[in-house]
Structure 1
């Protein structure tokens, strides 16, 4: 209960009521003090003036009566004076004493106080009056605690001598005067209490009209703080509170619009971070991870809960010194690879990530964190490595025959031309190396056209079985010389297929040539054709019983200039581009190629082409 009362007195409504009542109370107190003081002063002055007037009149009469001693000894004169005093002044609580020049009381207006007649009045004011001092007035409090005003006035003879013949001594009770003042005070206090009561009621009403809209604004502000923007503050007028209500409603609408826009931006940002191909990690000023997107977790092989709160150097598995260099701008980016270990697959160890840091600055606070961007550059690195290897291989493949040609030319120049047999052999070597370079350049140009999609496919209906038999016929001489058995196998139902016959012939020649080269004498080479289960693809296979390809080389067999046995392949006249060209030809037709091999058992190369039957578009 006490807490509730204390809380009420801390409200604006209570403060307004108290201030309003105090203002009225202070104003009425000031008015009351001034009014009561003025009224008391006025009543006291009037009371004193009345006594002064009475004393003046009495002094004139008493002066005529007290002219001589013979008159004082006359009893008739004293009775007249006594009668005059009683008849002249009959106010309640007022006593008038007529005193002769010796200070003896001649008469008194109070009948019950007649025993003092004939006695001497020794009051100080009387003595002062007998001495001729006119201003003899004072206020006393008697033994009954009654306030009285005492006045003593000298009496003159009113003749040419104008001597002092006595004095008037007046004692007037001020009880009725102060009773009147107290009554007025009571009336004033009662009126003030009634006024304060009415003021309190009016203050409550006034405070309610002021605080009720404020309460409504406070209630709505609490709802807005909790995220509820549905309500509106009622506008009850055009005064300042009404303007405040309108401003609050406007602020609520603008805040809701701003929050909606902010939420939309957050959703967009979250969607971008979630679906972007790069990994993004946000850190605070201490390097602790505060935000990580799904792509970054996948790149680093961690979950979101396991990443947040960790140090960025620990998360990236890099030294802290490198992180500091990246943050300070000494390094623009670094390349990292996820460490192979428990929970990491073998292929993940080949992943290469490019890590770049961007410091986040806040005005007046300096750096408040960093944005770390992770880019998977594995393919770029592989392409860059392939480019470097390609340039190195081309340089090597061209340098070898050029070196040979240069050596033989120098030998001829040095005198070998004088020996016909030796010169003829040297010229033959130069011719063979030149043809080898021509084949290499031709294959490179062909491969370049296939890569750049510049090679136009001249498709036409082609009998698959006939095409395979033609390939066998072209290599029949080599087959007979090596004792190799060549077979053609075709599934029933394979008819004409729309393909680029020249390109496929080149592909088959390349595959059959490799089969003949690496198959020992007396081996077997089989060319087969079959349809897929959906009848949408035709599978062409070249199978041999040669030396085979080791498993470690199968993944790289289609790379350019890659040879399983480099010395033997080069001696056989190969450029190392045949299978690369074969793959590009198959891809240009919309198919795929694969190779299966077992060491010292044989190799099987199968490529698939889409079935485009006769009646379809014949050229591209």
Structure 2
């Protein structure tokens, strides 16, 4: 596995080296152009003075005559090598005595013979360094009669440029070395917290959910650390809830099974008990079997919902039919338990696309809780209301029961959660209801006050 630290340091160094080298390349080019421009400017000023002097005072004689009689006037203005060239490109005079074999056909001379200043940089046979040549036209009575050429060696200039370039390269190497050291420390400062965080995550993955990453950096890594710690805390909570759920389910399943087994043993004795006792025993077995079946169905529903294997079948249906069914289903129980069960339905509610069976399940589950928690004394009341409010259908289920504390209220819809005063079998009923409502693109929320009562709100879109 490649180390992020090495990769980070390598990338830092690559960026720095490229940046420094590019900067030095631009800087050395600039210095070179600056030095060359200065020499060109000096030679240009000198050659223009000499050419102007020739045009004013020596243009009456031919170029060849002036070379013979007044040759010193051409090079006393400069320390450069001076050449006088005729219109054919032939060198008539050279200040250092160089006589080229043929005519000069460099670009500077050609431009000068056309009436323009010419510049040429290149190598010559008699010097081991490059030279710069500036050529300028010589005129007599407005006509070009030849060219004046100043040549200067670039040896000293190139040497100066080399020294400056060497100095820049040395500075660049020092900068790269210093930045390299700093990049190593920088990479280390970034990687070390990640390594610590990785070790903490590995311990958590191996089951040690009590370990925490306590390093504080006040940056994105710190946020990741907090998220990891929070995740571990939530997993611990969920694990605890799961264990409590398993314990609770085991207990809840054991109770009806014990009753069924006990009565089965009693009814299986050689001496049959009295007929009334047989009926009581069979009735208990029937009731406990029904309760056991209900618990198993609820567990299966929950398992399918959280795994996403359940799909609701929406059809156009009248919500009143669902409410009417629930009223008939729970009416006898309400009468038996002396609960004033009130159903208030708004007749203006249009037909909706819903899964009627799932909605019945939601209402029955919530009303079952309301019946369980209604007050034992005084007026015992549960109200089911359905109203059309703008773009939503709002169903409220209200009771005047013992209520839910502020501490427990935010957790009441969590999976496996059972409050202190809960009479739930396994703590998953409300979570199932919440999932079903979400699948209908609706919302379910609860308001409650201790010793006052609880109201469950269900909002369904009016579509």
TM-score of the aligned structures, taking structure 2 as reference length: 0.51
Match of 1:218 in 2: 166
Matches of 2:213 and 2:373, distance apart in 1? 40
Matches of 1:401 and 1:475, distance apart in 2? 23
> 1:427 Cα shift?
2.6
Question: Is 1:608 matched up with 2:459?
Answer: yes
> 1:604 Cα shift?
0.4
RMSD between aligned residues = 4.5
Give the conservation status (yes or no) of the 8 Å contact 2:326–2:364.
Answer: yes
1:422 is aligned, of 277, 292, 300, to 277
Give the conservation status (yes or no) of the 8 Å contact 2:374–2:381.
Answer: yes
Q: Which runs of 4+ in 1 moved over 4 A?
A: 205-211, 280-283, 331-334, 351-354
Structure with larger RCO (C-alpha < 8 A, sep 6+):
2
Question: Is 1:546 matched up with 2:401?
Answer: yes
Shift in alpha-carbon separation, 1:527–1:352, aligned structure 2, 3 A:
same
* Counterpart mapping for 1:328-347 below 5 A: 335-336=210-211
Match of 2:438 in 1: 587
1:528 is aligned, of 360, 376, 385, to 385
Question: Is 1:506 matched up with 2:361?
Answer: yes
Match of 1:344 in 2: none
Match of 1:578 in 2: 429
Match of 2:295 in 1: 440
- Structure 1 window deviating more from structure 2 (400-409 vs 497-506): it is 400-409
Gaps of 5+ in 2: 1-152, 215-224
Matches of 2:276 and 2:443, distance apart in 1? 50
Shift in alpha-carbon separation, 1:393–1:281, aligned structure 2, 3 A:
farther
Query: Number of residue pairs matched?
Result: 289
> 1:398 Cα shift?
1.4
Match of 2:97 in 1: none
Matches of 2:298 and 2:341, distance apart in 1? 29
Match of 1:560 in 2: 416
SS of the residue corresponding to residue 455 of structure 1 reads: coil
> 1:536 Cα shift?
4.2
Matches of 2:240 and 2:207, distance apart in 1? 22
Deviations 1:110-157 (A, max 9, x none): xxxxxxxxxxxxxxxxxxxxxxxxxxxxxxxxxxxxxxxxxxxxxxxx
- Structure 1 window deviating more from structure 2 (434-443 vs 412-421): it is 412-421
Shift in alpha-carbon separation, 1:416–1:575, aligned structure 2, 3 A:
farther
* Counterpart mapping for 1:365-384 below 5 A: 376-384=231-239
Give the conservation status (yes or no) of the 8 Å contact 2:314–2:353.
Answer: yes
SS of the residue corresponding to residue 555 of structure 1 reads: helix
Matches of 1:375 and 1:281, distance apart in 2? 22
* Counterpart mapping for 1:359-370 below 5 A: none
Give the conservation status (yes or no) of the 8 Å contact 1:525–1:543.
Answer: yes
Give the conservation status (yes or no) of the 8 Å contact 1:335–1:352.
Answer: no
> 1:591 Cα shift?
2.4
Shift in alpha-carbon separation, 1:214–1:507, aligned structure 2, 3 A:
same
Match of 2:109 in 1: none
Matches of 2:173 and 2:431, distance apart in 1? 67
TM-score of the aligned structures, taking structure 1 as reference length: 0.39
Matches of 1:208 and 1:332, distance apart in 2? 75
Gaps of 5+ in 1: 1-204, 228-254, 271-279, 284-290, 297-315, 317-325, 340-350, 355-373, 614-620
2:447 is aligned, of 596, 607, 620, to 596
Question: Is 1:515 matched up with 2:366?
Answer: no
Question: Is 1:484 matched up with 2:340?
Answer: yes
Shift in alpha-carbon separation, 1:515–1:375, aligned structure 2, 3 A:
closer
Matches of 1:599 and 1:212, distance apart in 2? 92
Shift in alpha-carbon separation, 1:409–1:557, aligned structure 2, 3 A:
same
Give the conservation status (yes or no) of the 8 Å contact 1:595–1:606.
Answer: yes
Matches of 1:579 and 1:425, distance apart in 2? 33
| Structure ID, larger Rg | 1
1:396 is aligned, of 239, 247, 251, to 251
Give the conservation status (yes or no) of the 8 Å contact 1:484–1:524.
Answer: yes
> 1:444 Cα shift?
0.8
